Amino acid sequence: MNVITLSHGSGGETTHKLIKDIFYKHFENDILLQQNDSSILQKLDGKIAVTTDSFVIKPIFFPGGDIGKLSICGTINDLAVSGAKPMYITVGFIIEEGLDINILEKIVSSMAKTAKQANVKIIAGDTKVVEKGSVDRIFINTTGIGFVKDEELYLCANNIKKGDKIIISGTLGDHGMCIMSQRKGLDFDVDIKSDCNVLNRLVDDLLNISKEVKMMRDPTRGGLATTLNEIIEGSHKSIVLNEEDLPVKEEVMSMCEMLGLDPLYVANEGKVVVIVSREDAYKVLEAMKRNPLGKDSAIIGEVIDDNKNKVYLKTEIGGTRILNMYTEDLLPRIC
Amino acid sequence: MNVITLSHGSGGETTHKLIKDIFYKHFENDILLQQNDSSILQKLDGKIAVTTDSFVIKPIFFPGGDIGKLSICGTINDLAVSGAKPMYITVGFIIEEGLDINILEKIVSSMAKTAKQANVKIIAGDTKVVEKGSVDRIFINTTGIGFVKDEELYLCANNIKKGDKIIISGTLGDHGMCIMSQRKGLDFDVDIKSDCNVLNRLVDDLLNISKEVKMMRDPTRGGLATTLNEIIEGSHKSIVLNEEDLPVKEEVMSMCEMLGLDPLYVANEGKVVVIVSREDAYKVLEAMKRNPLGKDSAIIGEVIDDNKNKVYLKTEIGGTRILNMYTEDLLPRIC
């Protein structure tokens, strides 16, 4: 078996061979191949958006994706929900000595495929190798740069008004419950696939149809409830969600029930939550449903004007409860 | 003792508290405080340069610096040697459960101080916490964005000509030997300080005085010999270094001799190697010497036209040997 050794991270000849044989082979593009300490990009005629994320997910392969695909999706989605067109990504690998090189190549090839799908270039990289036991297999950092197309588009919680509708692009909790079922092993023989996906085209579809989008976010760590709390914090508005409208897959719900979890707090990796004016809500919903990644989109709630910065859930039995920000650690290394 | 727990990485309330109490406190600036999934930057009227690096150094505190200072210097220097003005940095932390929060704050404060010194803003961040044993204390990724000021400045190995001079900005091997002496503990009771420093002002000084700079690099992992091999690879030129002109501190040299190492292959973290036309070499040297970070600058060799892409060393006893690219792993986790 061909494995990663400390010399692959030394900066010398073995590092250069790894870069050529694996990284350049899969990530090849004109900018990366400048092979300098920095990559030089062409002039971008507008504002730019920047985001960074590290990925430490366990296991590194799971139904619906792997750490490589996830690392590209996560960063592309953070740019897309900010209203930016994702353009460039840098990647930083921290690898444990002894990792099978075939596993690394599988991850790298998955990153390349996902980036291509989203029309994004991988423009710079770095590889560090640490001794066995100093990192758990492989961690990846991705930093994304996007181009703000529409200078008029200013997504901001301050734009949110009473009556605005909340739309989610599909079922809740698939990613988190997929990872949890993998970790629990055979005890949970359920077939839950992660929703890990790139959302930039779905976001394009909805922005093309409405100028009344106030805010978008991808509800990852902490789930939808935490994300909505972050959005509404300091807005002097509140959000009411209707439990009966929340899309949740049956197998995800039953696993959540068994474990005593709430799908509203479980991570998603291919969903966007949109806040849009009441007037445009239905046309945005229809546009989202036409995209395969948004086929289960639903209007799940609305903004009210109670000056309390809260997220409420109207339950199916007619009660109302407050959904606070997530305080405990549900599941480490979900992304 | 206040320590980092898994819930600091959950994305919920504890994460938000950590971000506010530690990261916003030290890194505060208008862009970071947008608090969105992506940070939006003002229009940059020119090309941009991008670089990424992960830092896994052990120990995390050492004479002359710490992992935080190093993570900012490394990325700023990669931008500066590419001829870009460093502007923005993103930071990604991967932290081991149980790390003392005071240690994290010391590292963060050191990053903030170094960024301020270089006039660079920290504009986006991410924090992941993993279980004890899944990472060795703390790893940091920094990605840097710089602005290419001078559209005419095109640093490229193709510009290198016969007779060009090689200048190094100071003594070789200080960082690597500092880290090695720390790891060896009391056996090596020597007083070697890392040269870890930001080089953007030194680079400005030399670019302001000459339009004849062909190439710059910071010789980190693999040392000066590996860096010069990278530069000369594919140029159809070669480089001859004069051993008697190489600046090396006495204590670094004697530690190298004891360990059977060559300071030409030992990492530096605050040095720049410059290739400049013969005509401008002395004025560039003088400009560099006027900057405290370049006071030990020296002309150490020149470019010859033998079509072999080699780096040669003319030894003090009159011989010549080839300095190949570094092939073994001298010292893991040097940066």
Chain A residues with CB inside 8 Å of B39's CB? 49-51
**A302 to chain B nearest CA, in Å?**
21
Domains of chain A, each with CATH number or no CATH = 6-148 (3.30.1330.10), 157-322 (3.90.650.10)
- pLDDT of amino acid B114: 98
- pLDDT of amino acid A33: 85
Chain A residues with CB inside 8 Å of B135's CB? 56, 134-136, 139
- Cα torsion for A246, A247, A253, A256, to the nearest 10°? -60
Residues above pLDDT 70, as percent of chain B? 97
Structure tokens at A128: 């560090």
Q: Is the pLDDT of residue A186 over 60?
A: no
- What is the per-residue DSSP string for A297-332? -EEEEEEE--SS--EEEE-TTS-EEE-PPP-S-S-S
Chain A residues with CB inside 8 Å of B50's CB? 38-39, 41, 88, 90, 123-124, 145
Q: Is the pLDDT of residue A50 over 70?
A: yes
User: Helix, strand or coil for residue B9?
Assistant: helix
Interface residue of B50, B77, B325 to substitute, partner A, most A CBs within 10 Å: B50
As a whole number of angstroms, the distance between CA B256 and CA B254 comes to 5
What residue in B sits closest to A57 (Cα-Cα)? B130
Subunit contact A50:B36, Cβ cutoff 8 A: no
The one-character DSSP state at A82 is T
Q: Is the pLDDT of residue A150 over 90?
A: no
Confidence of residue B37 (pLDDT cuts 50, 70, 90): confident
pLDDT one-digit tens code per residue, B49-89: 999 999 999 999 999 999 999 999 999 999 999 999 999 99
pLDDT one-digit tens code per residue, B285-328: 999 999 999 999 999 999 999 999 999 999 999 999 999 987 66
User: B143 — contact with chain A (CB < 8 Å)?
Assistant: yes
Structure tokens at A261: 């979890």
The dihedral through the CA atoms of B103, B108, B111, B113 has a sign that is negative
As a whole number of angstroms, the distance between CA B31 and CA B46 comes to 20
Subunit contact B52:A92, Cβ cutoff 8 A: yes
pTM tops 0.90: yes
- pLDDT of amino acid A330: 65
Confidence of residue B151 (pLDDT cuts 50, 70, 90): low
User: Helix, strand or coil for residue A171?
Assistant: coil
CB B4, CB B99: distance < 8 Å = yes
What residues 53-112 of chain B have any CB closer than 8 A to a CB of chain A? Answer: 53-56, 78-79, 81-82, 84, 88, 90-94
First to last CA, chain B: 28
Q: Is the pLDDT of residue A152 over 80?
A: no
Q: Is the pLDDT of residue B331 over 90?
A: no
Of B10, B94, B135, the CB nearest to A330: B10
As a whole number of angstroms, the distance between CA B114 and CA B69 comes to 6
Subunit contact A123:B50, Cβ cutoff 8 A: yes
Closest CA to B140 of B23, B7, B223: B23
CB A164, CB A302: distance < 8 Å = yes
Chain A residues with CB inside 8 Å of B7's CB? 327-329
The one-character DSSP state at B3 is B
Confidence of residue B256 (pLDDT cuts 50, 70, 90): very high
Q: Is the pLDDT of residue B42 over 90?
A: no
Q: How many CB atoms lie within 10 A of CB A335?
A: 23
- pLDDT of amino acid B184: 79
Subunit contact B126:A91, Cβ cutoff 8 A: no
Q: Is the pLDDT of residue B186 over 80?
A: no
Residue B77 region by backbone torsions, left for phi larger than 0, else alpha for psi between -120 and 50, else beta: alpha
Mean pLDDT is lowest, of A34-48, A246-260, B248-262, for A34-48
